[in-house]
Copies of this chain bind each other. A is one copy, B any other.
């Protein structure tokens, strides 16, 4: 079984980003990372994103707010970031605390700065399979991993376990755009093992530690693990029991070291694309 490492994919995206940057005049594009509260997941992702932007020659600024900020105050702060012409892309860490009307923010964010595809405008574009617009970075990272490893998707049976708005749903549309035959599975799916076994490309995005083991995987399948969980020993692990797939799957992504690092590379690519559009308009 070949291990599909995220670092190699991220390096390829870095080359693309560097090329795009050469075509841009002016300062390096700037990302705003907006965080409310101090959830460890958010802070870990924020650190990774900041590091990646620096590594890719891009600017990033963190905007953090107390967990108990009022809806009104946050809307005002977010509007200010959204309207700032020096900020060409925004990453909003979610979910937001309950007192904040997240839907209002999704509708407020400038679709051209909405690098993680949370606005209706970008969602509709992903759904329609359009070339323009930004898909959620994690969903797109899966496509980048497949493409970077020359895994043809056209006509292939792809199964996704999980139907979230962050991965499962948008990924189904991105795979469809690549002409895969797409099956969306979830907690209510009957005979999940059988359905997964039938897939040539299997994507685990269920958010359940090591739930996908060898019994779910068909011979020579490509397995992409989007999960980020903590196992019983407190160690980071994916939705896939990676070691169990050896001798069955043809290729699989590890966790950590797989899709995660590609996600922030996609974020960087989106930022440069946003800057390019912004500066040419």
| B-binding residues in A (CB < 8 A) | 120-121, 123-124, 127-128, 154-157, 163, 165, 169, 172-173, 176, 179, 181-186, 188-190, 195
Cβ contacts under 8 Å, A169 to chain B: 127-128, 173, 176
- Would A181 and B179 be within 8 Å (CB), given that A120-B121, A124-B120, A124-B123 are in contact? no
Give the number of times this chain occurs in the complex, counting copies: 2
Q: In the complex, what residues of B have CB within 8 A of residue A188's CB?
A: 154-155, 179, 181
Shortest Cβ distance from residue A132 to the other chain B in the assembled complex, whole angstroms: 10
Could you tell me the dominant secondary structure of chain A's interface residues?
mixed
Q: A123-B128, A127-B169, A176-B184 are in contact. List 10 more A-B contacts (CB 8 A).
A: A120-B124, A127-B127, A127-B165, A128-B169, A181-B184, A181-B186, A181-B188, A181-B190, A181-B195, A183-B183
A123-B127, A172-B172, A173-B169 given; A186·B190 CB < 8 A: no
Q: Are A190 and B120 in contact (CB under 8 A)?
A: no
Contact, CB under 8 Å: A182 / B181 = no
Q: Which residues of B contact A121 (CB under 8 A)?
A: 120
A181 B185 Cβ-Cβ under 8 A: yes
Known contacts: A155-B190, A172-B172. The answer to whether A128 contacts B181 by CB under 8 A is no
Q: Which residues of B contact A184 (CB under 8 A)?
A: 172, 176, 181-183
Is there an interface contact between B183 and A181, defined as CB atoms closer than 8 Å? yes
Task: Specify which chain B residues have a CB less than 8 angstroms from the CB of A179 in the assembled complex.
Answer: 186, 188
Closest CB in chain B relative to A159 CB, distance in Å: 9
Chain B residues within an 8 Å CB radius of A183: 181-184
Give 7 pairs: A residue, B residue, CB < 8 Å, sorted on A. A123-B128, A169-B173, A172-B172, A176-B184, A181-B189, A181-B195, A182-B184
